[in-house]
Amino acid sequence: MTVLIVDDEEDYKLVLRSILMTKEWDVVLARHGEEAMEKLKSFKIDLIISDIYMPVMDGLKFHRTVRATPGLEKMPFLFISGYDDAYTAGAAKDPRREGFYRKGAPIEQLMKWVEWLSTPENKRGKLRPDGVTVSPAGDSGS
């Protein structure tokens, strides 16, 4: 499996890369959404983990761009953020978003998200790692 990590915090990206590489996964790094779009053209990516606040192209615009790109409409996508504001909360709770991990939370939570998102949609459990129930159409419910 190849994971694309998109974050402007270099140290955080390197920590995540080290953790994911312990599972023998390949990891590609990008500093912002625009750079990540270029990486998506060059690598076969299986999962995206993206920060929300970044320069050039933030995570929400990057997510919209990925979803509008033919062949990437169903790319598993996990948002991460250390912020606790209305913008971040809106992104985290939006039912069109597959998942959200708060930076600093136990790494086991991140790994649960990665494992859940890397499982084919038709084989995922009905309960996401954050406890939200997923409807048969793939939309989140409360």
Report whether CATH 3.40.50.2300 matches the domain 2-123.
yes
Instruction: Name the 3-class secondary structure at 139.
Output: coil
- The pLDDT, as a whole number, for residue 139 is 47
Q: What CA–CA distance (Å, rounded) separates 62 from 54?
A: 10
- The pLDDT, as a whole number, for residue 24 is 87
Strand arrangement of the beta sheet that strand 26-30 belongs to: 26-30, 2-6, 47-51, 77-81, 99-102
- The pLDDT, as a whole number, for residue 52 is 84
Q: Which residues of the chain have pLDDT under 70?
A: 82-97, 131, 135-142
Residue-range domain boundaries for the chain:
2-123
